[in-house]
Chains A and B, each alone.
Chain A
Amino acid sequence: MNTRVREVKGRELKDENQEMSGSSMLIQALARENVDTIFGYPGGAILPTYDEIYRTGIRHILSRHEQGAIHAAEGYARVSGKPGVCVVTSGPGATNVVTGIADAMIDSLPLVVVTGQVATSVIGTDAFQEADILGITMPITKHNFQARTVEDLPRIIREAFHIATTGRPGPVVIDLPKDVSIASGMFHYDDEPNLPGYQPTYTPNKLQIRKLAEAVTKAKRPVILSGAGILHAGASPELLEFVEQQQIPVASTLLGLGGFPGSHELALGMAGMHGTYAANMALHEADLLINIGARFDDRVTGNLEHFAPQATVAHIDVDPAEIGKIIETQIPVVGDAKEALRLLNEVNPKPGESVRWRMKVDEWQQEFPLWYKEGSEYIKPQKLTELVYEKTNGEAIITTDVGQHQMWAAQYYKFDHPNAWVTSGGLGTMGFGFPAAIGAQFAEPDRQVVAILGDAGFQMTMQELSILQELNLPVKVLLVNNASLGMVRQWQQLFYEERYSNSLFPIQPDFVKMAEAYDIKGYKITDENEVAGVLEEAFNYNGPVLIDCRVHEEENVYPMIAPGQGHHQMEGVKP
């Protein structure tokens, strides 16, 4: 898949210190940043850059809507750990990627987004396709730039990649006016950006590490809350070593799944609103809570008044602003999770006396496992997810949107490896999962990528079926089709006396016919007995497949912490 790109890039890598256009600088800089894939969509103000893309042959994936391009870049970044690059035009092109930028910001994904802009001479005059994208994206980017002169451009690109990928990762926007991309200037590309106001802390304070080690030894009821920071830092091996040494149970956030092996005996699964009883009770009863790379999101904590009431809180985070933001923290550790865990493992504190705690946690796991009722005439979505897990040997990359299907995937697909779980957590973006799967497939061309989607979210970005058709990309799209906005419907049932306002879809397209219109293999399943067979067929087929799986429409996600409740007040913990 990559050969063509490498050849072309090799041929086109120009020497530094020579005159070139701004758009040429951009492509040269991308090559130096080892960017092998750009996701984007052309338009007026970005035409000079697209001309350069044409001439150099750098791989560009043409989405059918800019939102598809940015979510694909997010999926690529989440799986590869490299920055996702997205190029769009000014005005509507740029505003169409705003949702994806906000999504990447709240989920800490490294993106470099290049937006075309009208020429500097007309900025501020309400010119054709002008939008103040710098102003619009200021609150939803880690940083943003506007290149006002071509001389500034190489420095800006270098700084953008540096900022996006270091510290707590995040999206960076480069606004590129058309005249700047046409103008020519001298191209220098420095390795070390000079950013005195941006110096992320990687090495934690030794004193705090020692304090944490002492707390571990003293603790009788310790628990770890493992967040996406583990994945960003690549700290899974260090976490596993620490946990096995200390025998501390691990609850995971939604985004942290896979940071610690899901089938490990010390893995409690996901914590929070639809987390496992054992994970939530462990957080509630703990006397030491070690948060590693999570940000105490409200969907994880539930009512803060009832959150971990007895615990000493330790928080390891590369972003100091996250520490103490939501929960008062006694042991703050600012630094990279990998480095912090390495230092902790070096200290190797004597494990606390927590045998009884372990027994209690085991008891919760045995007594209150995830459950659903089998044997109805409809396909159970939980069963469907379990079968996906089984048929992919737990080794697939799974992407989702937001809602019920997402929760079932998080509950029933036990991620044993990092970076195989691509979901929209903080922003909860419908329409994310399908294009993200496309990006994930480009990051890992040889792995099975399954987009588990709701029927509603899929309809927000399904125009990207064109990419599957065009490139014969072997993404498997699995619609958990309950003919409704499942999670909205669930809340209306539980909290709005079953007034299903605008959440049911009595009419739907024929998804199989639609797949076929795109030359994609389509299946519709209504019988649970057919699921395993169809999945197997689909996963063995080297090409795109869409499976419309009609699941029980009134199935709800349980267990659940209702809004305003604490971890100890879970509902639906037993059949």
Chain B
Amino acid sequence: MRRTITATVNNTTGVMNRITGLFARRHFNIESITVGMTENPEVSRMTFVVNVSDQRGLDQVIKQLNKQVDVLKVRDITDEAIVSRELAMIKVMTVSGQRGEISDLIAPFRATVIDVGRESVTIQVTGDTPKVEALIDLLRPYGIKEMARTGVTAFQRATKKSSDQTRYSIIN
């Protein structure tokens, strides 16, 4: 199962190394990891998307993270009301006649063209993972030349509603 876990950590040298080393040696499978400073410059926030086989595996990920002295707080926010975002840059092959078509296609995703070359355009999209993946699927037929994704970063929502209902439309 895929889980989204956030951790606040001391913003010290080597902390990223501690966490990724821990994941590697315990054979935890990370799909994405993002890290950045928070409103407090001494604290960083990490967001992991991990793939675990069962609840016990998930418990181990959280407990092992908690054991790290530099980890302040760990939370599995998968089942909570959250906003999660990632950013992707997608370089798509284009011939001159196709650019308009691509612009139309990406408009509902609120994606933007951030670079134009003779044979390609680069598109930037932000959103949660399903939205980003939906756009990638639509762009694939044109020929994706290069792609870079940041990985997911996530927050709990201010007003907490049950997470069972659909939390997004394709544009959110």
Contacts and interface: CB of A to CB of B under 8 A. Distances in A.
B60 interface: yes
A387 interface: no
A196 B66 CA distance: 11
A139 B67 contact: no
Nearest to A172: B69
A163 B14 CA distance: 18
Contacts of B60: 321, 324-325
B156 to A, nearest CB: 20
Contacts of A163: 69
B63 A321 contact: yes
Interface string B71-103: 110000000000000000000000000000000
B36 interface: no
Contact of A197 (B10, B56, B59, B63): B10
Contacts of B56: 324, 328
Interface size class of B (residues with CB under 8 A): 20 to 34
B112 interface: no
A574 B156 CA distance: 63
A507 interface: no
Residue with the greatest number of chain B CB neighbours at <10 A, chosen from A139, A195, A321: A321
Given A138-B18, A138-B21, A198 B69 contact: yes
Nearest to B64: A321
Nearest to A134: B14
Given A197-B10, A198-B69, A320 B21 contact: no
Nearest to A143: B69
B166 interface: no
A321 B67 contact: yes
A26 B148 CA distance: 48
Interface string B1-22: 0000000011000100110011
A195 B69 CA distance: 8
Contact of A139 (B25, B66, B70): B25
B69 A320 contact: no
B150 interface: no
Interface string A111-149: 000000000000000000000001100110011000000
Contacts of B14: 134, 138
B129 interface: no
A43 to B, nearest CB: 24
Interface string B27-66: 0000000000000000000000000000010011001101
A319 interface: yes
Contacts of B9: 197
Nearest to B71: A197
Interface of B: 9-10, 14, 17-18, 21-22, 25, 56, 59-60, 63-64, 66-72
Interface of A: 134-135, 138-139, 142-143, 163, 195-198, 319-321, 324-325, 328
